[in-house]
Amino acid sequence: MTQNTFLGSIEQSIRNHWNMPAMTDFNGKTFYYKDFALEIDRLHDFFKSAGIERGDKISVCGRNSANWAIVFFATLSYGAVSVSILHEFDKESVQFIVNHSDSKMFFVDENIWGEVDETTIPKVETVFSLDNFSLIKTASKEFEVFVQNAPAFFEKKYEKGFFVNDISFRTDKPEELAVINYTSGTTSSPKGVMIPYRSLWSNTKFANDNLEFIFSGDNIVCMLPMAHTYGLAFEVLNSISMGCHIHFLGKTPSPKILLETFAKVKPKLILAVPLIIEKIVTRNVLPKLKHGAAGTLVKIPLLNYIVHAKVRKLMMAFFGGNLVEVVIGGAALNSDVEKFLRKIRFPYTVGYGMTECGPLISYSFWTEFKERSCGKVVDRMQVRIDSEDPHNVVGEILTKGANVMLGYYKNEEATKKSFTKDGWLKTGDLGTLDKDNYVFIRGRNKNMILGPSGQNIYPEEIEEKINAYTYVSESLVIEENEKLIALIVPDKDTLQEHGVNEPKIIPFLEQLINEVNSKLPSYSRITSIRIQEEEFEKTPKRSIKRFKYQK
């Protein structure tokens, strides 16, 4: 066992923190590190009896939970490959992934299994409930008998107990496949990103070395999907490797649930997507500043500082009062929200990564963070901008380093397309890199719209201006017949509060678009709007599936 491997560091952490709490489900059971190790050991016996061999694929699909984490670590420490599937995927995507990945075993939330047509996944031999590890189905009579006799088997096996020296994980190899992470990305059929052990190790080691304020015993809230590499790497893998206590939310992170959870858990580190932070600021904080005494005080320079300090205190209290840093990732943060957070000196930073890098490309601690950037290129990665002047002229962001994937599972063509001839991964994002190695993103390469005279139009920049209005839940800018159209999901509650009822919504929003257009160059102005009743369909990163709306 070596600590310089991913599984070695996990095993060492379990040994070091044996009698400490490892994981707690929201309003549910707590597992200590010794319980965690015992559950992993039990699953190894189930895998062995079911005929699972090294390199076999085991799918897991369900809400965040301690059982999800147990299955993940049991799979890797056994030598199988974990196939993580987002629980929010539709049943066709779940079936496609289980099938495409050649999974032999499937752990799934029972309510998701109820939707699945099992005739579409013939390669799966065994299905377990992720709710309680009960057997749902098996193709093997022998395995069925083993499961029936399991209580007696384990009673005998553990009659003298289960101790710290009873755990012994195998040694992983850097280039060995650990995880296949399917992302729907911006295409209709998901691609399986093959993540090797060196990527898991490199991402975890970076977090160990750079989040110096995190210690064993600290509380972490896990609210991002574990089937997505951002949440998995920094809420789960890093936490377990450092002996932290993970609290699985397992619910949609609404401001109300977050307020309750943060008050109880008091985390030092919070990982979030922009949407969560923007909701808290635009719905809970900014409206209070625009009205009454606070609105007046903000305009008086000397009292500005006092109000900002008070607002900062309120924000810190919302997050439990013990906060050191909020790391935002997955998409760009709204510029107005970012200006506000900087004004009150709120400890936030924005990182940049992608599933294909498991995920980390750039990050910097909040005190070193530059506004509108995505942090500094991390020490185990390199970034190059495909342009003649990387500091000033936008080009595609290319990257290489220890975090990069092996390729896409059973898709050599897509793998080949995603790398340059000299081995750089094409991120598909457009941006610049400043002299200090900070990354600035302008948009997605495939989203860029070419203007009437060849100008580059970045729809994300226009959407950001539209989304800055509290009357707008979200928006999407598309091109039709060489004109720019804004699809808008209105925030009907806010509109109603301001006396804008159904017949007045379109004229009211058209006025807002006129204001937005006044801040845009003529070639990137919106010509018309369309109301979108339902929220846009999203990828695991909560990015809008643009291809579904662009005709």
Over range 96-111, report the average pLDDT: 96
Q: What is the mean pLDDT of the chain?
A: 90
pLDDT at 92 over 90: no
pLDDT value of residue 186: 36
* pLDDT at residue 299 tops 60: no
Confidence tier at 454 by pLDDT (50, 70, 90): low
Q: How far apart are CA 460 and CA 483, in angstroms?
A: 16
| 397: pLDDT strictly greater than 50 | yes
Regarding beta strands 352-353 and 360-362, do their DSSP bridges make them parallel or antiparallel, or are they unpaired? antiparallel
pLDDT tops 90 at residue 271: yes
Residue 287 has pLDDT above 80, yes or no: no
Work out whether strand 81-85 and strand 57-61 pair parallel, antiparallel, or are unpaired: parallel
pLDDT over 90 (residue 145) = yes
Q: Assess whether pLDDT exceeds 70 at residue 291.
A: no
pLDDT given at position 420:
96
* Cβ neighbours, 10 Å, residue 440: 19
Task: For 162-181, write each residue's pLDDT tens digit.
Answer: 999 999 999 999 999 999 99
Average the pLDDT over each of 48-62, 64-78, 187-201, 481-495 and give the range with the smallest value: 187-201
Percent of the chain with pLDDT over 70: 94
Q: Tell me, what's the pLDDT at 526?
A: 95
pLDDT at 235: 96
The pLDDT of residue 191: 87
- Calculate mean pLDDT across residues 122-138: 97
Report, as an integer, the average pLDDT of 412-422.
Answer: 94
Instruction: Write down all domains in the chain, each with its CATH number in brackets.
Output: 6-21+29-197 (3.40.50.12780), 255-443 (3.40.50.12780), 448-548 (3.30.300.30)
- Three-class SS of 408-437: ECCCHHHHHHCECCCCCEEEEEEEEECCCC
| Lowest-confidence pick of 383-397, 449-463, 486-500 | 449-463
Q: Is the pLDDT of residue 416 over 60?
A: yes
**Given 3-state DSSP classes, what are the helix, strand and coil percentages for the chain, each rounded to the nearest 5?**
40, 25, 35
491 in Cβ contact with 472 (< 8 Å): yes
Find the radius of gyration of the CA atoms of the chain. 25
pLDDT given at position 185: 41
Is the pLDDT reported for residue 211 higher than 90?
yes
- Report pLDDT for 50: 97
Q: Is the pLDDT of residue 300 over 60?
A: no
Quote the percentage of the chain above a pLDDT of 90.
68
Q: Which residue has the tokens 């999407």?
A: 476
Q: pLDDT grade, residue 1 (50/70/90)? A: very low
- pLDDT, tens only, 326-376: 999 877 787 888 888 998 999 999 999 999 999 999 999 999 999 999 999
Reply yes or no on whether the pLDDT at 396 is more than 80.
yes
- According to the model, what pLDDT value does residue 86 have? 86
* CA distances (Å), origin 100, targets 150, 191, 411: 31, 10, 11
d(CA 285, CA 122): 52
Residue 59, pLDDT above cutoff 90: yes
> Closest by alpha carbon to 340, among 365, 322, 315, 319?
315
- In the structure, what pLDDT confidence band is assigned to residue 302 with cuts at 50, 70 and 90? low
